[in-house]
């Protein structure tokens, strides 16, 4: 679905925008070409990468912040140490499911609210943001790693929105990269929280959800990463 990538109108910025092949705000038509590699929007033909770049330049959040979800929320847990051949070891990480939540992002932070959780992840406490497949991963300074799984595949929009909100929050500093750690243009300057800012404020509400049935082997001690994926 093209709106997973072009989640707002690249011409006027409306979001949501596409209905019956037209932007519901400015009326621009959209037609895919070359098997979906290009799109004709408002009469102009260009590659999808061009249109996506135009979407990303529209960094401002919608008035009142960005709402979305529901998503499945989990946190990273340390399950123990994996012992391999030759005495090499790796930390074994798993995920503990917190439950389903709706999202609200504004210029202060990301709120996760559902039947079994009520969390705020302040922008100032975020140390890294990335996406793997349908899962947006947010590393917070002292509450660890949060996994936001988008069953409808809409995670790219939220990764971009978090990046835009973080850029605005840290201005005038310029962010060079968001993963494995938010790093600024100045050498050695990394994010991870401003003094006096508490990281995620989480409190469980209602009955605890069933524990997650899946685990991952992530991060490593002594032998480096267990896989080629970035550790956040």
Q: Which residues of this chain interact with Zn ion, rule CB under 5 A?
A: 9, 11-12, 14, 23, 25-26, 28
Q: Which is nearer to Zn ion, 16 or 151 (CB)?
A: 16
CB closer to Zn ion, 5 vs 202:
5
132-157 exposure pattern, b = at least 16 Cβ within 10 A, e = fewer: eebbbbbbbbebebbbbbbeeebbbb
Please say which residue, 5 or 217, places its beta carbon nearer to Zn ion.
5
Query: Cα-flanking dihedrals φ and ψ of residue 13, to 5°?
Result: 85, 0
Q: Whole-number minimum distance, CB 112 to Zn ion, in Å?
A: 30
Task: Give me the residue label for tokens 């973080």.
Answer: 166
Q: Residue 60 Cβ, how far from Zn ion at the closest point, in Å?
A: 15
Residue (of 140, 130, 143) closest to 191 by Cα position: 140
- Other beta carbons within 10 angstroms of residue 187's beta carbon come to 6
C-beta of 24: minimal distance to Zn ion in Å?
A: 8
Nearest approach in angstroms of CB 108 to Zn ion is: 28
């Amino acid at each position: 679905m093209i709106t997973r990538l072009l989640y707002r109108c690249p011409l006027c910025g409306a979001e949501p925008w596409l209905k019956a092949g037209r932007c519901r705000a400015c009326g621009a038509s959209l037609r895919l070409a070359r098997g979906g590699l290009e799109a004709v929007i408002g009469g102009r033909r260009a590659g999808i990468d061009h249109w996506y770049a135009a979407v990303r330049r529209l960094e401002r959040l919608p008035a009142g912040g960005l709402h979305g979800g529901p998503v499945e929320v989990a946190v990273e847990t340390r399950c123990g140490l994996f012992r391999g051949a030759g005495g090499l070891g790796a930390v074994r990480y798993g995920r503990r499911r917190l439950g389903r939540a709706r999202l609200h992002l504004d210029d202060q932070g990301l709120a996760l609210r559902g039947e079994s959780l009520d969390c705020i992840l302040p922008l100032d406490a975020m140390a890294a943001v990335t996406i793997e497949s349908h899962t947006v991963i947010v590393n917070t300074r002292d509450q660890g790693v949060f996994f936001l799984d988008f069953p409808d595949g809409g995670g790219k929009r939220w990764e971009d929105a978090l990046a835009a909100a973080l850029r605005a929050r840290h201005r005038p500093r310029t962010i060079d990269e968001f993963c494995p750690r938010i790093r600024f243009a100045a050498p050695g300057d990394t994010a991870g929280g401003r003094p006096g800012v508490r990281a995620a404020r989480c409190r469980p509400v209602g009955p605890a959800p069933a524990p997650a049935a899946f685990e991952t082997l992530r991060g490593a001690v002594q032998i480096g990463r267990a896989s080629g994926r970035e550790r956040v």
